[in-house]
Homo-oligomer: A and B are copies of this chain.
Amino acid sequence: MLVLASASPRRRELLKLTGLRFAVRPAKDEINPPQTLPPAEYAVASALYKAREVASVCGKNDIVLGADTVVYLQGEIFGKPRGAEDARRMLTALSGRTHYVCTGYAVIKGGAEYTGCSVTEVEFRELSSEEIKSYIASGEPMDKAGAYGIQGRASVFVKRINGDYFNVVGLPLCEIYSKLKEIM
């Protein structure tokens, strides 16, 4: 049985697209890796923590998938905003610039661990302060890394991406699907 070690409703929807059957079992503890790690290493370490915690309570034949998505700009990791003011700071920084989204993932089966990550370049158009204000008022930014959801109202902010789109939403589907097919 494939087990998704994530509480994210977006990851659940993404994994459904693959047609694979799976169960959802989120990790209970959110242990954060050291903030000093580079973004890709941070995301992989965080994905591995989640997958290990869930694998420890799963059967030996289960395949556990953990993932973590980080948004970064000029080396700074943008996590989920701590409030409206933090969301405003992030969206203002992203406006008119190109940033990166990295999803780290970890797959554990029978004690063997596989990890990887996918990076997508995302270019925002210039946003007016009114647009940012109204976007924050919609509530959409609050539970999302980097304070935006490309699959939601922020779709109109994104001029161009280079890489896997689904990676920006939360799982690099093509890469993870191929990896799971190899292991299963």
Q: Per-position contact with B for A88-132: 1 when CB-CB < 8 Å, else 0? A: 000000000000000000000000000000000000010000000
Name the one of B19, B156, B164, B173 contacting A174, with C-beta atoms under 8 angstroms: B156
Question: Do residues B163 and A160 form an inter-chain contact, with CB atoms below 8 A?
Answer: yes
Given contacts A17-B152, A152-B17, contact A174 B157 (CB under 8 A): yes
Let me know if A159 is at the binding interface, CB within 8 A: yes
16 A-B pairs whose Cβ atoms sit less than 8 Å apart in the complex: A17-B153, A17-B156, A18-B153, A18-B156, A19-B153, A125-B174, A150-B165, A156-B173, A156-B174, A156-B177, A156-B178, A159-B174, A160-B163, A161-B161, A161-B162, A162-B162
Q: Which residues of B contact A61 (CB under 8 A)?
A: none
Contacts of A174 in B (CB 8 A): 125, 155-159
Question: Is the CB–CB distance between A178 and B125 below 8 Å?
Answer: yes
Q: Quick check: is A166 within 8 A (CB to CB) of the other chain?
A: yes
Closest to A175 in B: B159
Q: What is the bound-complex CA distance between A77 and B14, given in angstroms?
A: 29
Complex interface: chain B residues within 8 A of A17 (CB): 151-153, 155-156
Q: In the assembly, what is the distance between CA of A151 and CA of B158, in Å?
A: 17
Given A156-B173, A159-B164, A161-B162, 18 extra CB contacts under 8 A: A14-B155, A17-B151, A17-B152, A17-B153, A17-B156, A18-B153, A18-B155, A18-B156, A19-B153, A150-B165, A156-B174, A156-B177, A156-B178, A158-B164, A160-B162, A160-B164, A161-B161, A161-B163
Alpha-carbon distance between A19 and B131 when the two chains are bound, in angstroms:
12
